[in-house]
Amino acid sequence: MRSAAFAPTLSLQRVVHMVKITISYRREDSMDITGRIFDRLSSHYGRETVFRDIDNIPPGIDFREHIRASIEDSGVMMVVVGPRWIGGDRHGQPRIHAETDYVRIEVETALKRHIPVIPLLVGGGRYAGAEPASREHP
């Protein structure tokens, strides 16, 4: 009979693969709330798991390439949509319609890679084309 001191020990290491989260937003629309979302996600899942451009791009590199690579490495994208998310260019046209709009490029990159995109409506943001619900009073 073996004593407990000589019993073989089995070390089971649990390997946990954390899905990387990319946060897409328009700075002039929702920078403050996006910072709070980033802080909460980072404190819960770990800073290395959450990508937000202002916090994760090293100086001196091509930010467009870094953002693209980060999106492709993500398992989910959260798109923070505030009241000015569609944006407007100097001619009054929605920025999101321009093929060169960075927010559009980020979302399209995620969708092309079949990365789930979760819209987070904040501060009165709403889906493009959505009409507010009418309230009828008898």
CATH of residue 71: 3.40.50.10140
Structural domain contains residue 63: yes
Cβ(128)–Cβ(84) below 8 Å: no
b vs e for 36-59, b when ≥16 Cβ sit within 10 Å of the residue's Cβ?
ebbeebbeeeeeeebbbbeebbee
Q: What pLDDT is stored for residue 126 in this prediction?
A: 80
Structural domain contains residue 92: yes
Structural domain contains residue 11: no
93-102 pLDDT tens trace: 888 888 888 8
Check: pTM over 0.85? Answer yes or no: no
Structural domain contains residue 97: yes
| Total number of domains in the chain | 1
Domain extent, residue 109, equals 21-121
Structural domain contains residue 131: no
Assign 91 a pLDDT band (cuts: 50, 70, 90). Answer: confident
| In the chain, % of residues over pLDDT 70 | 76
User: What is the mean predicted confidence (pLDDT) over 74-79?
Assistant: 94
When mean pLDDT is compared across 27-31, 55-59, 68-72, the lowest value belongs to 55-59
